[in-house]
Amino acid sequence: MLLSIATSGLAVAAESQDYTLVLQDHRYQPTELHIPADTRVKLEVINKDPSPEEFESNDFPAEKIVMPKSSATLFVGPLKAGRYHFFGDFHQPTAQGTLIVE
């Protein structure tokens, strides 16, 4: 029974919180994504456009190419509370967004 309790606690600790960004018409949806502070989160970026995009940020470590009509997963954080800008490197005028960490 002790082993059962210990392993179930490990499973809970290993779970991450999942979030999704959708890229369509070279715009991220939502443009503001709220995530918890001091927590590592799993971010799925779904690219519905017919061209590739590179998810990137100068505010937190992230750089991932997402091929057309596909998705990519990356892990973000843990980050302190605040606002963190991200963008699509290949379509910077429109592919803009903010992580709001609270």
pLDDT tens-digit profile of 10-41? 444 455 699 999 999 999 999 999 999 999 99
- Extract the tokens encoding 25: 């018409």
Has residue 76 been placed in a domain? yes
Q: What is the pTM of this model?
A: 0.82
Residue 10: per-residue pLDDT: 43
| Element containing residue 44 per DSSP (H, E) | strand 41-47
Residue 2: per-residue pLDDT: 45
Q: Among candidates 16, 61, 56, which has minimal Cα distance to 35?
A: 16
Residue 78: give its domain's CATH number: 2.60.40.420
Has residue 87 been placed in a domain? yes
DSSP per position, 48-83:
-SSS-EEEEETTTTEEEEE-TTEEEEEEE----SEE
Has residue 8 been placed in a domain? no
**Residues 46-99: tens digit of each pLDDT:** 999 999 999 999 999 999 999 999 999 999 999 999 999 999 999 999 999 999
Domain count, the chain: 1
CA 14 from centroid of its chain's CA atoms: 17
Residue 32's domain comprises 15-101
Has residue 52 been placed in a domain? yes
Has residue 3 been placed in a domain? no
